[in-house]
Chain A
Amino acid sequence: MSWLDSPASDTQIPHRNRLWLYFISGLVIIFLIVPTFIVIPMSFSASQYLEFPPESWDIRWYENYFGSSEWMTATWVSLKAAVITVLITTPIATMAAYGLYVSQLRLSRFIFILLITPMMVPVILIAIGVFFAYTKLKLNNSMIGLVLAHSTLALPMVLIVISAGLRSYDMNQERVARSLGASRLKAFFIVTLPQIRFSVITGALLAFIVSFDEVIVALFITGGKMSTITRSMFLALRDQIDPTIASISTIMVLVTSIALLLAQVFGQSKRK
């Protein structure tokens, strides 16, 4: 009996009758993956126009990118903002997640929803609101302003991830630690935190990506020397198409892939 006739599921339907499903799924995988990776060969094209497949190969767009002080400044701004955002959001979200989870009041649920609102309100509304407020407070074009905005945007996701991690964690361990003589604070750091570290790391990664990838708020509240790389890319895309973007995109894709790979590796070893 060839593979085609062997059963594919508990209903004993043979693979033969499911080929259309496999075909569609294959197409979907291509649909999902190709745009992500197509920037890589594009970035090596020598031509001025966006070309795929590239007629001739060149690294001039990379040279453009690394050689341009504007692009480099923007990259630096984005990186710095992302790192500071992680450093602010992760502890704040962890504290909130823990406090809300342990206190178990009805009020806690309301507060949780309150802390999720940055994810529910349309980003454009937050963007113009913050822009308006920052104009009054003279916080536009400042790293502090940018970081505060990004931290708030990242907070909901980090909170959700860490709360989920707490929920699947056995609180009895913290109780045991306390019965053995550790105060709540000590017990948290010695016992609980190491156990939920996977969630915390995932949350930190998410915070980084939310900040680094953020376009809309940065569009309004940054500019010139403070422009983030995403803002500059977006404007470049809208106004004229510069293949330098391809090289930047390639770098971003590679960084993401590595981060994802690391996350999977850590995830597997932890799950054992």
Chain B
Amino acid sequence: MADSANSMGNTLTRINAVGLRQDERRERLALFGLSVPAILLVIVIVAIPVGWLFWLSLFNDEGVLSTYNYTRMLESKSYFRIFRTTFNVSFMTTALCVIIGYPFAYFLAQLPQRWANIGLIAVLLPFWTSLLVRTYAWLVVLQRKGLVNQWGMELGLWDAPLRLVHNMNGTLIGMAHIMLPFLVLPLYGSMRTIDQDYVKAASNLGASPFQAFWNIYLPLSLPGLFAGIVVVFVLCLGFFVTPAVLGGGRIIMVSMKIETIIDLFFNFGTASALGVVLMLLTLLVLFISHKLLRLDRVLGGGGGS
């Protein structure tokens, strides 16, 4: 049909084609224009300054173009330690969140909707409360004369006050508290969408409650779990406030080091290099998990047969 129409000559057949294309373009432009203010904001505040920093990181202290700032990181033991600490803290916090968060999310997902909503308030309330306030609260609770030590000693669980703050312990506890909602919320959401018919089918086919959970429920909850893990890990990598307060200066994360470098030395070259490396690591983690999650979806679709 279209071929025979073509042979009759373009002007006759492509009626209004030019005008319609113009209308289409105009509409697209207008809609695109709606996002221009947002784009400008992001470019001016984030893209340009960060780009500028990246540029700065390519110059050494004498102002000569070099990779000095980056090679220094690879050679210096202290920088290595900082990165290792950052990864350790992130990894352990994430693990803690999974261990505590998975059973809790599972518990909430099993509750009838009304009770689950009430239970969710327990998760949302800290989520929305100021980060600083919660960090401060942990500072007080975990200190030598704090709540935990008082009760622990009163109950006879230990004799001398435990050192729970201004060290790794306090940092981990505080960060786990901050990060827990970030794990529980996507995980809970994912669990809620699991069709209970799958579990019933497993039971009917002979699976014990544990087997039904392990073979059916757990794999189906993995997408939400992975999403939560990625979010928590990435947030931990760049975290500043809580380790700064609860770590007592002993736990030095990359972000804290960057702040120190600017605050004390005003050395933008070094600080930028550190920041860029942090950002690249973050993007790497996101990229890997993006690939893994895709894979997971594919496996989830075809596996089990």
Contact = CB atoms under 8 A, between A and B. Distances in A.
Given A39-B137, A117-B42, A124-B240, 13 more contacts: A10-B203, A31-B100, A32-B122, A35-B134, A50-B140, A105-B28, A122-B278, A122-B279, A129-B46, A219-B259, A233-B136, A249-B136, A260-B121
A92 B38 contact: yes
B37 A92 contact: yes
B265 interface: no
Contacts of A21: 103, 106-107
Given A52-B140, A129-B50, A249-B137, A25 B199 contact: no
A115 interface: yes
Interface in A1-41: 8-13, 17, 21-22, 24-25, 28-29, 31-36, 38-39
Contact of A98 (B34, B44, B140, B208): B34
B138 A35 contact: yes
A121 B145 CA distance: 39
B258 A124 contact: yes
**Interface on chain B toward A: helix, strand, loop, or mixed SS?**
helix
B272 interface: yes
A209 B136 CA distance: 18
B130 A132 contact: no
A121 B200 contact: no
A98 B37 CA distance: 13
A257 interface: yes
B65 interface: no
A42 interface: yes
Contacts of A233: 132, 136
Contacts of B121: 260, 264
Interface of B: 28, 31-35, 37-39, 41-42, 44-50, 52-53, 56, 100-101, 103-104, 106-108, 110, 119, 121-126, 128-141, 143, 145-147, 150, 177, 180-181, 196, 199-200, 202-203, 207-209, 212-213, 234, 237-238, 240-241, 244-245, 254-255, 258-259, 262, 268, 271-272, 275-276, 278-279, 282-283, 286
